[in-house]
A and B are shown apart, each in its own frame.
Chain A
Amino acid sequence: MRQILILENVSKEFQTYHRYHAGLKAIVLDPRRITRHRDRDRFLAVNEVSFAVCGGETFGILGRNGAGKSTLLALMAGVLRPTFGKISVHGRISPLLELGVGFTHELTGVENILINGVLLGLRKKEIEAKVDDIVDFSGLGSFIDQPIKTYSSGMMTRLGFAIAIHVQPDILLVDEVLAVGDAEFQEKCFARITDLQRAGVTIVLVSHNLNTVETLCDRAVWLDKGRIVTLGSPQEVVARYQSEIAHLLATQESASVSV
């Protein structure tokens, strides 16, 4: 299989203390802050990560909060640029980092479908052709012509998901969004993801749900403090992740007992 998403020694550094954010006054009073670089003001969110995702593969990313998963996805999406290393993408990438990005609450469902689809990288004509399918999938019926400020949060996420999944990218980046809607809608989403997999779409998936990772993914990686801990089959990675969590909980418990 051809590798279509390649990460080579990718690191991302953030400045925790921003030299400009203190405002003009702070800079006028202390001009050196423009050029000052201090190590403790930096934070490595992603540290020397390398892997390659093959065409048609579903690739899972596991890790605790703050492990760098979302930063990694944003880097792949091209929203952030790596501080070091290189990312090569071959094909159209659709970043699903958050459902309903750019939804305008005053506008109707259909109007939002058009805006969202174009922002996700489609041409206007392409998204116009898909509106009916999206409306069907979302199950919103006649609500689709109402301003979305009248929607419940569940309806809004359903619409967001329906749009994202109809964009038909070569690579779909999904961040923790599989757990939306009621049981029926979730079922529909899983079915759609399986369809996409069968159609040969490459999926990179960040999830806290170990079950999801095990059933959907072909390979998975476990990230901790920005570094890769394990990379391999989802069963293997999930097993190691679980035992680590169990170990962590056990040590915490014994610590609290000894206190």
Chain B
Amino acid sequence: MNCNDSRIYLAAYFDDELDVGQSLGVHQHLAGCPDCRQLQREQVVLRSALRDSALYAHPSAEFSKRIEAVVRRAARSEARPRTSWIGWFRFDSFRWSWAVAALVAIATIGAFLIINGLRPSHQQIISTAVLESHIRSLQPGHLIDVPSSDRHTVKPWFQGKLDFSPPVPDLSELGWTLLGGRLDYVDGRPVAALVYQRRKHDINVFLWPSHNSTLYDNVTQENAQGYQILHWNGAETTYWVVSDLNNAELLDFARALRGH
């Protein structure tokens, strides 16, 4: 190793950062070169001068405490979930797009609900239709097409007039007199109307095949214009019952009809 090579490596040699081979090369060169040894001595002197502790800049104890506090505060604010409103409303936040999307969704759902709320349900339309039909039937000469208290007369009468055969139960033993039957038209189809009576109160029973229910569901009750309206879905048949009879008695009637 010559002086030029040695000088390239001298600093690293001095810092003990050379591998064994390079280190050995510099070592051997130094042994035989007073000039380079002199350079090395200078480095030793320089090093001790630079390691003078008075040159080292120490932070004050106060500053050290401050930094510790600053870091701990940062840790605390990181631990806290960021729910700040100011942060939320910052415009660069892409959360805005979520807010807009949510608003649109709410508006859409709201409009849907309002429109549906304003529009009468199918149930309400039928309810109105059966009530009107009941009132019309009470006008002279409209109540009955086939006057008979015999179910064996009423039931066959519907044959050929309807595409189904309505059940016509005899409830006379329970105090409900069958007056007869009538063809009517509800919900866009011809339906059977059975007329029963108790204490001069006429009861119209509208029935037609139901498509969506095989189980007896609960009776829904409604009161309109002084009439009671009951509705339920029987096995394969939809029932609507309208009368000016009091609610308790009409429910009795419904039970009798359902239990039959």
Say if A and B assemble together.
no
Chain A residues with CB under 8 Å of chain B are none
